[in-house]
Amino acid sequence: MSTMSLEPVRGRTDEMIVNMGPQHPATHGVLRVVLGLEGERITRAVPHIGYLHRNHEKIEEARSYPQVIAYTDRMDYVSGTQNELPFVLAVEDMLGIEVPDRAKKIRTMFFELYRLASHLVWMGTAMLDLGAISPFLYTFWDREIILGIVEKTAGARMLPNYYTFGGVRRDVHPDFFKDTADFLDHMERRMVDYEHLVLESPVVHARTIGVGVLSKERAIARGVSGPVLRASGVAYDVRKAFPYDAYPDVEFEIPTSPDGDTYARFWVRFQEMYQSIRILRQLVELTPKTGPHKGKAPARIKPPAGERYRAVENSRGELGVLVVSDGTDKPYRVKHRGAAFSNLQIVPDLFVGAKFSDSIAILSSLDPVFGEIDR
């Protein structure tokens, strides 16, 4: 038998081995966890991934640089253009392409719109895992508006292939800024409802407070990032630590919580949505309505030999990419550092000792997306 699977311990008859997934509706995709159960308590947990493996990194070695952008979209399919940015930034650095100020701001606006969309999907599915159905319907309603705004400009809803070297592919739709401002007004009203339904609900309190506590030291040692890390009390955010695009121009805070439990991770994501609304409000005012949307980029993208690592803070944490160029028009190696993949490493830590029903709440608070984890 392989070392990956759980074997029954000789002489222990009280432990039951249960296979959760890969088709379980609460695993947010195709995660399979083999659990050792002692009554309701989880004694051992071994996660298995790879059911959605599509060989992204190897395919990208055989594609030219502009073609790779279309493939990066397919990793974290919930947060659209956020995946394109690290690769685009890395290649821009290698080639020394100047990005116009307006293009940077448009990119940042799309980035934050997709953060809102992604957190809305998380909120709906997390509440679905806890047994509430109506928040799911309401969050997808609001996400529909975001995807409509994106489709008007970029032509697609989830996989827009919109960023390009030196800026964005085409100028925004004339209604873009007005639509976004209207949506932010709508979203601020809706956030009050979501606070009532999610953060203030006694059912959510009972299911999440004190469940799946991740200590600060353990979080740093396991290399988690994003809202999961910030809920454990570490104020690390790539947007502040290594600013990119238009983030130096806008004011925002990094919400952190010292508790590290499932409720803290819910709370941090909520506060991030408020910060996204705040950033978008500033950018609607700051972005010039007309101007260049794309800088001068060479027709054939051939970065000089060398390598470059760039990271961005996407909805789940630090999404990085290492691009190695050998001077040809195809990358020698593209290595993605997935945020959801790194966050999934704490699943055995958090599951052991928890009750079986709590494992569902813990998993949904990590917000895994399997397109990115399995790549």
Site string for other proteins, 122-161 (x = CB under 8 A): ------------x---x--x--xx-----xxxxxx--x-x
Alpha helices, DSSP H, located in the chain: 56-61, 65-72, 84-95, 101-129, 134-154, 176-194, 202-208, 216-222, 227-230, 238-241, 262-286, 339-343, 347-351, 356-366, 370-374
Cβ-based nearer residue to other proteins, 11 or 202:
202
Please tell me whether residue 209 binds other proteins under the rule CB under 8 A: no
Binding to other proteins, residues 31-70 (CB under 8 A): 63, 66-68, 70
Cβ-based nearer residue to other proteins, 162 or 351:
162
Residue 11: DSSP 8-state? T
d(CA 87, CA 287): 24
What is the crossing angle of helices 65-72 and 84-95, to 10°? 160
Site string for other proteins, 88-127 (x = CB under 8 A): ----------------------------------------
Binding to other proteins, residues 280-319 (CB under 8 A): 290, 293
Give min distance, CB of 11 to other proteins, in A.
43
Please tell me whether residue 184 binds other proteins under the rule CB under 8 A: no
d(CA 346, CA 260): 12
What is the crossing angle of helices 176-194 and 134-154, to 10°? 170
Interacting residue with other proteins among 24, 41, 48, 169 (CB under 8 A): 169
Which tokens go with 202?
């006694």
Please state whether beta strands 16-20 and 306-314 pair in parallel, antiparallel, or not at all (unpaired): unpaired
| Residues engaged in binding other proteins (CB under 8 A) | 63, 66-68, 70-71, 73-74, 134, 138, 141, 144-145, 151-156, 159, 161, 169-174, 193, 196-197, 200-203, 290, 293
